[in-house]
Each structure stands twice: as structure tokens, then as C-alpha cells.
Structure 1
Amino acid sequence: MRPDRKTSPGLFCIGVALLLLAGGQIARAKSKPAPASQETGFLNRKVVIKGVTYKFQIYLPEDFRRDDRKQWPIILFLHGRGERGGEGMWQTQIGLPLQVRDHPERWPFIIVMPQCRYPNFWTDPEMLTMAIAALDQETAELHADPLRTYLTGISMGGYGAWELAKMYPRKWAAIAIAAGGPFWSYAPERWQQAATLPGEYARAVGRTPVWMFHGSEDNVVPPREAELMYTALKANGNVRLWIYQGLHHDSWARAYNEPELPKWLLAHRLNPKPEPQPATERLLIPIHPAPQKLPPAILDALVGEYRDSAGHIAATLFRQGDQLLEKDPHGEITELEAESQSSFFYPNGSVWTRLVVERDAQGRVTGLVFRDDRHEEKWERTKTVARTP
């Protein structure tokens, strides 16, 4: 039988003391608050109003820091009718949030994106109150710059933006509205005030800079709404109106993709000194530039097979009569139009997409650069192909 092992009373007491000391250190380590992680990008938020909790989202640029006390410009974005709900996220799938995902480098702003509850509208008083509460909450928490607070909205959110512009006229450094106006589609009787209603908004807004965007073929929010607001504002205000020729309701995709828009916002601050003089601009913006007709010899110089950097066929260009065409690797044929001798666009494609011709020192075509608003690809010319009659 194995003899019993006896422990000295002194050693037992030392062991207990060491265990208690270690336990205290562990407890203190657990109770010490961990450093807050630095979160950027799209983040969940909540605001509580009269006992009701509303979920929404904010966007923080990648280089935002909570501890540097830097005052960032801040935008309040109001979504359209189709993004209403209670989950707090649908509004990030369209308009400004979508363009921020594509081009974060263009948008050095904190962006507050509240969500209108279904079946409410942004013009309902409780929804406007919630939107302002969300903006004020985030402005305070994130130390945003109250002199660089901007307002924007699309469609139904454009209706709401006009209401907030009128209700809080001294809050906004600048306002940008796409496919919006003061005549709500769900309140057709407001058109009976067409002679007076735009003037009411214009008097409230004063000289706050306003940039409106609208599609010429918008049959949801008629372009006349923007035209009436432009007329009312131009007498004494600072207003721009860009009408996109041929576009329907979805003018915001083009508007928020304008590289000038975020720069225009940042160029304005609340209560500038001296106050800017009235300025107006109304432009009709074509979807595509007017095409140029190039001589057959120039088109023939472009005919050929082009491969990407991995050696795969990216496109084959050929000519039919005076028309240049492109065949993709799947056999789909697309028409090309000339913007110049070195730049071509797709008349049935994206407004931002271009094929740019590369030439050597002797002027021979060596390749193409496919470029859209997000990236570019270089295609090397490998061989010519016969003209298709």
C-alpha cells in the first residue's frame, strides 16, 4: 500500500495566499474596461423618441477617429418610398449610400441615414422629428461640424428634404435634392397651390445654396416640380438645376455619381462672411455626348482582337459600313459611338463607360483601355480582323 502524503500547514497557507492573490489580479483584469474598438463604415444606430425606438444607419469614413476631436462635415440623407421599414437598413441600398460604397474617397463625410416607417411618409411630422433627432444625436456624439451640416434626399426623401429645409432654414450649409419637390404624389391637392407654394419654400430657404437634379422623363415626380422651385429660388437665392435628358425617375444614381457634388457641398459653410450674392444655373445634361462620325480609315485602324492582361480575349472590334461594333467573349455584339478619335462610348450603356484608344509614337493602335466610374482594364491589340460587310 502507498503511504499517505502529508502537507505542511505552512506550505498550505502560502498556497492559499498565492491563489487568492492570483484570483484578485484576474478579477481586476476582467473588470478593467477594454479599449473601445475603432469602428468605421456603415454602422447600426438607434434613436428613441417618446418611448419608440427607431433603427437607422450612419456612415463613418475610414480615417474617422473618435479620440482626435476633429469636426467632420455631416450629411442627413432621406431615402425614397421603396426603402421604408423598421429594420433600419434598406435605406443603405440606394442613392447616396450606394455611391459611397463605390467611391468612398469622394465622400469624406459622416452620413446619417434614418429610415421612414411604413406606411408613413417623410412629410409626416413624426418622421421629420425622428430624422432631425437622429441627426442631432449623431452630431453631438461624433462631434460633427454644425457649420458644415448638409441635407439631401431622393424622391419621397426629396419631399421630406424640402420640408426640413423650410422648417430648419438656418441648419443647412447646402441642400441637394434629386427627383423631389413640394407637390407630394400622395397629396395631389397641393397642386392647387402651384402659384404660391414654391414661393413659401423659397422665402424660408433664402440664400442657402440648393442643387436640384431631375430626369426630363420623370413620370413619378414631374420635372415641373423642380422647374417651379428653380423659378421661385432664382429671384434672390443660390440655385442650380440639372435636368438629365432622357432619364426617368432614377436621376439620383447619376446625381450622386457627379464628382463635383461632394466638392460643391464642402465649398459651403453655414453663415459665410461675406454672404454670397444670388447665383443661378440651369443645365440640360445629355445622357451621352453627341457622337462624331469618323472616316472609315480611322475605324479600320481600330479593327482587331484585344486581350486582357491574362491573355484572354476581352473584345473584338469590327466595322459594318460606317459603324464600329464590339463583340465580347460571349458573342454579344454592342454598338460603339465616337466621342473623339481616341474615345468611344456605348450609346445603350452606362454614361460613365469609355473605350480609350492607345497608340504608339508612330500613331499605330496598340490597345484599348476600358474605363468606367469604378475601375479600368487595359486590353492589348493582338491581331486585325476582316471588316464585316
Structure 2
Amino acid sequence: MQPIASRLLFLAAALLLCVATPAADPNAFVDFSVEGLPGRLYVPPEASESRRPVIVFLHGLGETGDDNRRQVNHNIDNLLKSAKQRGAFLYAPQAVTRGWGERARTDQVVAQLESLLGKHNADPSRVYLTGLSMGGGGAWTVASRYPQRFAAAAPICGVPPADDWDPALQLKTPTWAFHARDDGAVPVRCSHERINALLAAAGKPPVEFPSEGGDDFSFSDAALNLHYTEYPTGGHAIWGKAYATPEAIEWLFSQQQATPKAQ
């Protein structure tokens, strides 16, 4: 199957699964939109006293649209909980059509991020990128396209990234990815391929991943600051579990850039 056709198939399957448990109250967010890119922003109270970290969240296919509510009304309850606990901004743009691969769209997301950093008491050295399913592929894509803009990335059950994804550029961003072995919407090999491509770009041997069943599988390369967690079960909707993993959240918020680069 051709790469584009494969990606469309994954997205179609993911649409059926990315409309899970209703979560965050859209009213906890303020409008943070520009023409062509709806968006919502959680502003932590702590920002009145000190510069705060920023989480950029890219939603899945089921939240595509222009209502500027759906992207924060599903799937991110645990992520918002962590943002509140850590006093972090949470920026959630909404793709009006499916996919985070269009360069114009990702440029808009990053431009809005720069606007956020300029208008609010946000810390440019602590900007974290994450996404699930379609947004997981978006997280891979955005981290590669805008190297050294993000202190860390956390793609979850991500579809394949855009064709211009460059593992050598992705390596500039510390990354912790998640997937489930029994994911029926986005095959786990999508994350396997990303991890091994990153290792190949660094001149390192590939990982031998488990096949079926078994226990949780973890891989870490401290030198690359590359981490991967694979659950044996959980299907596609593992984001609640991933966003509630204390070690991953602690790792995410511990990342900080010495000299963040504006894009």
C-alpha cells in the first residue's frame, strides 16, 4: 500500500476511536484563535507571578472541525490535570480539516505559539509538544519541522508523520512515544518505524520489539533522550493512561532548553 493511502486508512480507522470519554470543560479555556485555525488556551493562575511552561496539544481525527470546543472536550482530562498541577499553559489548536501535515497549518500553530510566548508570561525554554493519533503523527511532524523550538515531544499512538519528516531533525527534540501492541486503528509498527528510524539516524542498532501479548515494553536511550513505552493491551485509546504516567509527566516537565529558538 502506498504511504499516502496507508495514512488515510489509519486516519479513517482512528476517527471511530478518537471520540472517547468527554473530559475537559471548554469553559476552562479562553479563545486563542486566528483565521483558519481555531484554538483554545488554558491560562494558569500562576502566570500572574512567574513565567510558566507551555503544552501544545494536537488532537486526533475525531476532533477535527471549526467549533473550537471539540478539541478540548475529549481525551485530554489527564493532560489538563497535569497542566493545572504544574501551573502550565495548555494550547489546543483545532484542525479545520483532517491532518496536521499541511505546512501552512503547522506554520500557523507555531506562529500562534510565538504569539502566546509574546503576550503571556510563558517560558520559551519550557515548551512541550504532544498529540494523539492524528495528532501523534502531527507531533512527530512538527518536532521535525521546527527543531529546537520544543523542549520535548510526546507522540501517542501516532499515525505516520508527513513525508518530509526527518529523523535527524527529530533527534534535536527529546522524545517519549507511546503505543499499544493491540492498537486496531493505528498499527504499533508506526511507532516502531519511528523509533528505529531515529536510532538509524544516530548510527545505532534497531530495537527488537515484542510481537504479541506479554508485558509492558520500555526502551530508553539516555544519550539521545529517546524513550518509548508500549502497552500489550489498551487498543487505540491509551492517551488517558499515557497522560497519567507519573514518570512520563515528570520527565516532560523536567526538560528545558538552554537557548530556545523562535521559528
Cα distance in 2, alignment partners of residues 229 and 53 from structure 1: 30
Match of 1:113 in 2: 92
Could you say if the C-alpha distance between residues 83 and 181 of structure 1 is closer, same or farther in structure 2, counting changes exceeding 3 Å? Answer: closer
Could you say if the C-alpha distance between residues 54 and 205 of structure 1 is closer, same or farther in structure 2, counting changes exceeding 3 Å? Answer: closer
Match of 2:256 in 1: 269
CA RMSD of aligned residues (A): 2.3
Which residue identity does 2:232 align to in structure 1? Answer: Q
In the alignment, structure 1 residue 205 sits paired with structure 2 residue 185: no
After the TM superposition, which segments of 4 or more aligned residues of structure 1 sit over 3 Å from their partners?
100-107
String of CA shifts for 1:219-268, please: whole Å, max 9, x gaps. 21111111121122235322111111111111111101112232211211
| TM-score using structure 2 length | 0.73
Cα distance in 1, alignment partners of residues 181 and 37 from structure 2: 35
Match of 1:81 in 2: 61
Could you tell me whether the CA contact under 8 Å between 2:148 and 2:172 is conserved in 1? Answer: no
Match of 1:250 in 2: 237
In the alignment, structure 1 residue 219 sits paired with structure 2 residue 198: no
1:181-192 matched pairs, under 5 angstroms: 181-182=159-160
Cα distance in 2, alignment partners of residues 103 and 150 from structure 1: 12
String of CA shifts for 1:203-232, please: whole Å, max 9, x gaps. 112242100010111121111111121122
In the alignment, structure 1 residue 57 sits paired with structure 2 residue 22: no
Q: What SS does the aligned partner of 1:87 have?
A: coil
Which residue identity does 2:180 align to in structure 1? Answer: G
Match of 2:5 in 1: none
Could you tell me whether the CA contact under 8 Å between 2:83 and 2:89 is conserved in 1? Answer: no
1:1-389 matched pairs, under 5 angstroms: 41-47=28-34, 52-65=35-48, 68=49, 70-96=50-76, 98-102=77-81, 105-118=84-97, 120-182=98-160, 201-234=166-199, 236=202, 237-271=224-258
Cα distance in 1, alignment partners of residues 172 and 225 from structure 2: 5
String of CA shifts for 1:52-95, please: whole Å, max 9, x gaps. 35321011223331xx4x22111111000000111211100233
Could you tell me whether the CA contact under 8 Å between 1:95 and 1:256 is conserved in 2? Answer: no
Could you say if the C-alpha distance between residues 156 and 100 of structure 1 is closer, same or farther in structure 2, counting changes exceeding 3 Å? Answer: closer
* Higher strand proportion: 1
Cα distance in 1, alignment partners of residues 161 and 140 from structure 2: 10
Cα distance, 1:154 vs structure 2: 0.6
Could you say if the C-alpha distance between residues 128 and 93 of structure 1 is closer, same or farther in structure 2, counting changes exceeding 3 Å? Answer: same
Which residue identity does 2:173 align to in structure 1? Answer: T
Deviating more after overlay: 221-230 vs 124-133: 124-133
Match of 1:278 in 2: none
In structure 1, runs of 5+ residues without a counterpart are 1-39, 185-189, 191-196, 273-389
Cα distance, 1:100 vs structure 2: 4.2
Could you tell me whether the CA contact under 8 Å between 2:57 and 2:91 is conserved in 1? Answer: yes
Q: What SS does the aligned partner of 1:221 have?
A: coil
Could you say if the C-alpha distance between residues 54 and 100 of structure 1 is closer, same or farther in structure 2, counting changes exceeding 3 Å? Answer: same
Query: How many aligned positions are there?
Result: 211
Cα distance in 1, alignment partners of residues 230 and 113 from structure 2: 29
Could you tell me whether the CA contact under 8 Å between 2:80 and 2:90 is conserved in 1? Answer: no
